[in-house]
Amino acid sequence: MNLSLRQLRVFVEVARHGSVLRAAEALHITPPAVSMQVKELEAQVGLRLFDREKRRLNLSTAGEYFLVHARRLLAAHKAAEVDMARFQRLDRGVLTLGFVSTAKYFLLQLLARFHQEHPGIDLRLRVAHNREHLVALLHGGEVDLAVMGRPPREIDTRAEAFAAHPLVFVAPSGHPLTHQPHLSAVALLEFPLLVREQGSGTRAALEDFFSTHHVDARPAMEIASNETLKQAVIAGLGVSLLSLHTIGLELRGGLLHVLDVVGTPLMRSWFVAHLSARQLAPAAEAFRYFMLEQGEAWLAAHDAALLPRTSLTTD
């Protein structure tokens, strides 16, 4: 069948009013035009859709079935129009973005690129102290989207990975471990272990690593800040596991050194997440699409400058 939306609209109006004249009035067209559309539609379908009784048109059995399909087709068309209209308004609106503090080292540069493409979108940023804080912001509807290292299991979200996230053990330059190859997990315990606080994704990854290697690692110091943790390592207080994405400046400046520990980098992923039950506004949808399209390539280039390519594929 080669049906048109115009024919479907005319058919639904005639079925609603039971009259060509009243349908014509509702559609603001002439009665002959209505009659012609109905006849063409019945010819396309190959069935009589109306029983004509005096001046009233009643749906035939076939017409009653066809009315269900006609309404569905028109509803689908309307939904498509609404969705496309939403995308036409992508350059306007407000985006409230939440992210863990570890992500700020790369996310702000990506946000600058996003803002160049969508200058009409107002950005509002919420930096979470750690993963648990970000999950609370997401659950409370305080952010539209969240950029994080581990998708929440506590709440129902749609989380999509957009880039690799390497975690590496670091020590200050000149440390006894800096030039030793293939270090074991046990070798790290010869020196104080500096860690993030409970609830952070980095702390969870560290505990998983030592558990996998059956090593009982006891932290020497707990620090609830990436910046403070980096400075503590630089000062020689111990070794630590950090996101590669947080230490680019320190590696290039020679302040920190990545240790060659067997089983590292610990390869995780960055995710962009939102509540499953919440329909994204156009601005949030634009950013989600941007991260899925551009985030991986940008971070891959960033990582390649800091680690050998072979290291980035270590599981």
Number of residues in the chain: 315
> In the prediction, which pLDDT does 312 show?
42
How far apart CA 42 and CA 39 sit, in angstroms, is 5
- The domain defined by 93-164+268-306 folds into D-Maltodextrin-Binding Protein; domain 2 (3.40.190)
For the ranges 24-28, 70-74, 91-95, the lowest mean pLDDT is seen at 91-95
Does pLDDT of 228 surpass 90? yes
- Model pLDDT, residue 87: 60
Higher pLDDT, 110 or 308: 110
Percent of the chain with pLDDT over 90: 46
- Measured CA to CA, the distance from residue 258 to residue 169 in angstroms comes to 6
Which CATH number is associated with domain 5-88? 1.10.10.10
238-295 tens-digit pLDDT: 999 999 988 988 998 999 999 999 999 998 899 999 999 888 888 898 899 999 999 9
Strands 56-59 and 239-243: unpaired
What value does the mean pLDDT take over residues 99-117? 91
- Global pTM reads 0.63
pLDDT of residue 226: 86
Mean of pLDDT over the chain:
87
Domain ranges of the chain: 5-88, 93-164+268-306, 165-267
Sign (positive/negative) of CA torsion 66, 71, 73, 74?
Answer: positive
Same-fold call for 5-88 versus 165-267? no
Please give the pLDDT value at position 313. 41
CB–CB of 264/168 below 8 Å?
A: yes
The answer to whether residue 314 scores a pLDDT higher than 70 is: no
Q: What is the pLDDT of residues 126-148, one digit of tens each?
A: 998 888 889 989 988 889 999 99
pLDDT band at 308 (very low <50, low <70, confident <90, very high): low
Write the class of the CATH domain 165-267.
alpha beta
